[in-house]
């Protein structure tokens, strides 16, 4: 039996370290936190110094009992969780839960998983740092108090099952605020002048720095240029350089994988987890840009041997993000000499990105020569400007170039292109000049990754929570990730060529969005409610200010219960008074009155989502009920017009009769459909539901019936709700509302009713995890 038990947080880490330490050490993992506050109300005893009640969650019971057994058998237990607030608390929870004693427990820390770092750590053990543990408890208690007092206020005042928290509510606020900026934005048009000089290979573009707001001014400019001479007034050449970006943290990896590979934040983490478990990369949840000495040397060797000495430049990066705890290295390949890996496509691509970024971070800067030519116009006082750029040395660009969020911006004319050899005073021949109407753009909506970037800047959330936070705000229905179609917009182009000016109008698509985060109506209502009654909590600086206090607790300068008391008492008072005084929040907005009946038209959130109401609520005096219609996806309470609202009442509509039953057309959650005899038939795309004819509807119904008949393998006389059907993934049993898999080796046609019943009974007993999750969402 090993004399020493060493406990880390991650099993993959445990495996690696075990290899470094030899037979005297057993290395095990705690799989993160092993205890948490109980779920119930009494988790925190507010009257008694916020005393906490902890429990080992069901899925950690086995781990804890295994560790307990090993700890009993070992001479020495080494607590090697991460060196940050959470890690220190994990060590403390282990100490308490495993029943360890000071005499046989040592606390060690390391920031990188390399043999020298581990050995050094073992030679320098310390004790559990209770100040750091207290800081973690303050963090945990504050988050629980905020989350579990605020959420119930929302259940009462907005809708059941909603949630609020220090992190998620700010994330939602960012998205709501941004959407309002976009909606408020007034686009301004101006004419941009671009000139094309020279011929063929010698051709280059120059741009006028000023823009013209009026078409007349742009036209006048072109007109003046008809007879003008163009001379190079000045020519300036200067060196420029560019440095590589720091190696990846969780946040920057998520951003780059989103921009370069189109991965969602959670996909990036899933793929990175696989790479980590295969031993190919270092830990993927980190806020540090630091590389170990081992890594720096390995990168240097690789760069020198692959590209030569002059491509190598050692760099040590300093983290800029507030609140970084730097318990790990930056994300990097474990072995720099492994340029590519085996694995599926997404793993290969992500590894490639990580490898390139890490290698590039240790390479020389790229060097350029930038040339600016200013071109005088004999008939005008303005100057045209042409910029050219020539790369003199590629440096790190040989392997990697970081993308930016503004990459969808059209390439600026005359930027970063090559210029032909030019001399000062040279006269240029104008080929063509254009004045193109361009529009200013509203601020960009957040993508998942750009939201992570913003949260990190604000110091809100941690590497391990970015992806889950983004899922939470979507699962709660506060935010949707969507595509939105753009609108056509006309823009004017004036062209000067061969002494003539031509005018034309062109069409461009604008405002199209893909994979962007939009607030829902419920998201906006919840946000406004929180901003109104709990401004301090959803303040962008709230986390930063409590983090500062956690730091003071960690340094032993502050008592954690004092800090929480000072926060909690006024906060709780706000909660109480909000419950007492606040009205229910529905986001109600009056759109105006009905053009015919004169009744009030309003929109608000109801039990089933946002809807329009025409007329007042029924009363004893006025028993007539109002009319209702749900908003459609893409519409929102804040922006819907009275015209669009009235349009919603044109459906559902009768289309005709079939088999003596009415057919109606309407639009549901999943698009337009025909309803007949309580069955639903989706309308194909391209048919306007308002234009559907009786014939088309009948045809649709018959088509669907035919398809369904082909699907049916077997029906049972015993129970008409039980069928064997042919589905997308092969045959299955439909048992009422339950879909049951057919075990391998069974011939679907030969299944009896009794067998189906038995299979359904088994399936019902073991509800699927995914099904549970889905039920939870609802």
Partner DNA sequence: CAGTGAGCGAGCTTCCGCTTGACTT
Residues labelled as active-site residues: 283
Sequence-distant (6+) residues with CB within 8 A of 390 are: 368, 369, 371, 418
The piece of 95-103, 167-175, 366-374, 718-726 that touches DNA (CB under 7 A) is 167-175
CB of 281 to DNA, least distance (A): 12
Tell me: does residue 13 bind DNA (CB under 7 A). yes
Residues recorded for the chain = 778
How many Cβ atoms from other residues are within 10 Å of residue 102's Cβ?
Answer: 9
Q: Does 160 interact with DNA (rule: CB under 7 A)?
A: yes
Axis crossing angle, helix 115-123 with helix 11-21, rounded to the nearest 10: 80
Phi/psi class of residue 35: alpha, beta or left (left: φ > 0; alpha: ψ in -120 to 50)? beta
Please, what is the minimum distance in Å from the beta carbon of residue 557 to DNA? 21
Residue 62 or 510 having the CB closest to DNA: 62
| Shortest Cβ 4–DNA spacing (Å) | 21
Asked if 31 interacts with DNA (CB under 7 A), we say: yes
- In the bound complex, what is the minimum distance in angstroms from residue 512's beta carbon to DNA? 26
User: Which residues, including other chains, have CB under 8 Å from residue 216's CB and lie 6 or more apart?
Assistant: none
Token duo for residue 331:
């994300």
Tell which positions 266-285 bind DNA, by CB under 7 A.
273, 276-277, 283, 285
Nearer to DNA, 251 or 292 (CB): 251
673 lies in the site for DNA, by CB under 7 A = yes
Within 98-157, the residues that bind DNA by CB under 7 A are: 139-140, 143-144, 146-148, 151-152, 155
Give the shortest CB-596-to-DNA separation in angstroms.
20
Find all residues with CB under 8 Å of 664, minimum gap 6, and list them. Answer: 652, 653, 654, 655, 674, 675, 676
CB of 505 to DNA, least distance (A): 41
Annotate each residue in 296-335 with x if it binds DNA (CB under 7 A) or - if it does not, as one string: -----------------------------x----------
List 477, 515, 668, 748, residue binding DNA (CB under 7 A): 668
Residue in 642, 666, 687, 738 binding DNA, rule: CB under 7 A: 666
- In angstroms, the CA 513 to CA 485 distance is 7
Q: Which range in 80-88, 345-353, 527-535, 714-722 contacts DNA by CB under 7 A?
A: 80-88
Q: Are 516 and 445 in contact (CB under 8 A)?
A: yes
How many residues bind DNA (CB under 7 A)? The answer is 77
DSSP annotation of 335 reads -
d(Cα 546, Cα 531) in Å, to the nearest integer? 18
Q: Which residue has the tokens 């890996």?
A: 341
**Residue 744 touching DNA (CB under 7 A):** no
Is there binding between residue 768 and DNA (CB under 7 A)?
yes
d(CA 702, CA 708): 10
Q: Does 36 bind DNA (CB under 7 A)?
A: yes
Rule CB under 7 A: say whether 721 interacts with DNA: no
Q: Which residues 449-488 are close enough to bind DNA by CB under 7 A?
A: 461-465, 468-469, 472, 476
Q: Does 37 bind DNA (CB under 7 A)?
A: yes
Nearer to DNA, 367 or 464 (CB): 464
| Tokens coding 118 | 């581990």
Residue 726 CB-half CA count within 13 A: 10
> Is 11 a binder of DNA (CB under 7 A)?
yes
Q: Which of residues 625-644 bind DNA (CB under 7 A)?
A: 628-630
| 534 lies in the site for DNA, by CB under 7 A | no
Q: Which stretch binds DNA (CB under 7 A): 197-205, 412-420, 433-441, 666-674?
A: 666-674
Q: Which two tokens stand for residue 72?
A: 């009993």
116 or 160: whose CB is closer to DNA? 160
Site for DNA contains 32 (CB under 7 A): yes
Pairing of strands 76-79, 4-8: parallel
Both structure tokens of 286: 């980190």
How far is Cα 248 from Cα 352, in angstroms, rounded to an integer?
Answer: 12
**Residue 58 found at the interface with DNA (CB under 7 A):** no
Dist. CA 705–CA 682, nearest whole Å: 12
**Nearest Cα to 437, choosing from 498, 505, 510?**
505
The least CB distance from residue 64 to DNA, in Å, is 13
Of residues 504 and 620, the one with the C-beta less far from DNA = 620
CB closer to DNA, 431 vs 464 = 464
- The residues, ordered by sequence, that sit 6+ positions from 365 with a Cβ below 8 Å of its Cβ are 241, 242, 243, 244, 313, 395, 396
Instruction: Pick between residue 74 and residue 629 the one whose CB is nearest to DNA.
Output: 629
> In sequence order, which residues have a C-beta less than 8 Å from that of residue 544 and are 6 or more positions away?
322, 323, 458, 459
- Write the DSSP string, 553-600: HHTTSS-HHHHHHHHHHHHHHHHHHHHHHPPPP---EEEEE-TTT--E
Q: Does 735 bind DNA (CB under 7 A)?
A: no
Piece in contact with DNA (CB under 7 A), picked from 66-74, 82-90, 107-115, 435-443 = 82-90
> Which of 184, 669, 685, 707 contacts DNA by CB under 7 A?
669
3-state helix, strand, coil in the chain (%, to 5): 40, 25, 35
Dihedral sign computed on CA atoms, order 257, 259, 261, 267: positive
Phi-psi region of 672 (alpha: psi -120 to 50; beta: other; left: phi over 0): beta
Q: Which stretch binds DNA (CB under 7 A): 79-87, 380-388, 483-491, 688-696?
A: 79-87
Contact between 9 and DNA per CB under 7 A: yes
Tell me the window of 37-45, 227-235, 293-301, 436-444 that interacts with DNA (CB under 7 A): 37-45
* Angle subtended by helix axes 521-533 and 168-184, to nearest 10: 110
Give least dist CB 651 to DNA, A.
9
Q: At closest approach, how far in Å is the CB of 369 from DNA?
A: 45
Closest approach, Cβ 250 to DNA, in A, equals: 9
Query: Residue 587, interface with DNA (CB under 7 A)?
Result: no
* Phi, psi for residue 570 in degrees, rounded to 5: -65, -35
In the bound complex, what is the minimum distance in angstroms from residue 193's beta carbon to DNA? 50
Interface with DNA (CB under 7 A), residue from 4, 12, 385, 501: 12
Contacts for 670-676: CB closer than 8 Å, 24+ residues apart: 674/700, 674/701, 676/701
Closer Cβ to DNA, 221 or 533, answer by number: 533
Is there binding between residue 682 and DNA (CB under 7 A)? Answer: yes
């Amino acid at each position: 039996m090993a004399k020493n038990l060493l406990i880390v947080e991650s099993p993959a880490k445990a495996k690696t370290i075990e290899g470094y330490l030899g037979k005297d050490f057993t290395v095990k993992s705690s799989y993160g936190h092993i205890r948490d506050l109980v779920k119930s109300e009494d988790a925190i005893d507010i009257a008694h110094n916020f005393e906490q009640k902890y429990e080992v969650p069901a899925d950690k019971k086995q781990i804890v009992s295994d560790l307990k057994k090993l700890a009993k058998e070992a001479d020495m237990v080494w607590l090697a969780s991460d060196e940050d607030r959470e890690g220190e608390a994990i060590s403390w929870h282990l100490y308490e839960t495993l029943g360890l004693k000071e005499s046989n427990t040592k606390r060690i820390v390391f920031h990188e998983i390399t043999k020298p770092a581990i050995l050094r750590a073992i030679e320098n053990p310390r004790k559990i740092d209770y100040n750091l543990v207290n800081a973690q408890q303050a963090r945990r208690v504050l988050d629980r108090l905020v989350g579990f007092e605020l959420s119930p206020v929302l259940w009462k005042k907005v809708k059941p099952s909603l949630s609020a928290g220090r992190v998620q509510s700010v994330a939602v606020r960012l998205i709501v605020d941004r959407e309002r900026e976009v909606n408020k934005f007034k686009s301004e048009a101006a004419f941009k002048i671009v000139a094309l000089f020279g011929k063929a290979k010698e051709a280059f573009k120059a741009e006028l720095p000023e823009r013209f707001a009026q078409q007349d001014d742009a036209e006048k400019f072109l007109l003046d240029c008809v007879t003008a001479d163009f001379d190079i007034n000045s020519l300036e050449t200067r060196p420029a350089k560019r440095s590589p970006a720091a190696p990846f943290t969780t946040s920057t990896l998520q951003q780059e994988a989103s921009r370069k590979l189109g991965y969602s934040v959670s996909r990036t983490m899933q793929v990175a987890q696989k790479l980590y478990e295969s031993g190919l990369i270092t830990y993927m949840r980190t806020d540090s840009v630091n590389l170990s000495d081992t890594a720096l040397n390995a990168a240097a060797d690789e760069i020198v041997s692959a590209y030569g000495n002059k491509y190598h430049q050692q760099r040590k990066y300093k983290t800029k993000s507030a609140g970084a705890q730097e318990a790990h290295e930056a994300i990097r390949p474990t072995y720099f000499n492994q340029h590519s890996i085996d694995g599926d496509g997404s793993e290969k691509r992500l590894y490639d990105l990580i490898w390139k970024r890490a290698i590039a971070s240790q390479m020389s800067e790229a060097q350029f020569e930038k040339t600016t030519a200013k071109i005088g116009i004999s008939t005008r006082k303005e100057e045209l400007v042409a910029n050219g750029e020539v790369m003199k040395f590629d440096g790190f660009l040989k392997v990697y170039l970081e993308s930016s969020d503004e990459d969808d911006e059209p390439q600026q004319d005359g930027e970063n292109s090559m210029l032909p050899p030019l001399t000062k005073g040279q006269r240029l021949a104008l080929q063509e000049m254009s004045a193109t109407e361009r529009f200013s753009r509203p601020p960009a909506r957040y993508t998942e990754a750009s939201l992570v970037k913003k949260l990190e800047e604000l110091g809100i959330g941690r590497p391990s929570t970015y992806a889950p936070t983004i899922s939470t705000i979507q699962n709660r229905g506060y935010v949707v990730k969507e595509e939105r179609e753009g609108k056509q917009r006309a823009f004017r182009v004036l062209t000067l060529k061969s002494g003539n000016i031509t005018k034309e109008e062109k069409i461009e698509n604008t405002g199209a969005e893909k994979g962007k985060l939009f607030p829902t109506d419920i998201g906006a209502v919840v946000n406004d409610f929180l901003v109104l009654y709990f401004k301090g909590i959803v303040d962008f600086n709230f986390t930063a200010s409590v983090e500062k206090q956690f730091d003071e607790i960690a340094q032993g300068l502050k008592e954690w219960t004092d800090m929480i008391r000072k926060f909690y008492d006024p906060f709780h008072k706000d909660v109480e008074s909000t419950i007492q005084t606040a009205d229910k929040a529905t986001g109600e907005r009056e759109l105006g009155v009905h053009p015919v009946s004169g009744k009030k038209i309003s929109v608000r959130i109801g039990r089933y989502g946002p809807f329009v109401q025409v007329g007042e609520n029924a009363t004893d005096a006025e028993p007539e009920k109002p009319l209702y219609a749900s908003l459609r996806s893409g519409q929102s309470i804040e922006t819907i017009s009275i015209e669009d609202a009235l349009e919603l009442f044109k459906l559902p509509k009768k289309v005709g009769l079939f088999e003596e039953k009415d057919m109606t057309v309407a639009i549901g959650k999943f698009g337009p459909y025909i309803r007949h005899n309580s069955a639903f038939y989706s309308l194909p795309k391209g048919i306007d539901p308002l234009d559907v004819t009786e014939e088309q509807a009948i045809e649709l119904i018959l088509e669907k019936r035919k398809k369904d008949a082909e699907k049916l393998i077997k029906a049972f006389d015993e129970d008409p709700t039980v069928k064997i059907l042919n589905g997308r993934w092969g045959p299955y049993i439909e048992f009422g509302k339950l879909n049951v898999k057919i075990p391998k080796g069974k011939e679907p046609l030969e299944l009896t009713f009794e067998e189906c019943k038995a299979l359904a009974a088994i399936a019902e007993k073991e509800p699927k995890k995914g099904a549970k999750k889905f039920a939870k969402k609802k």
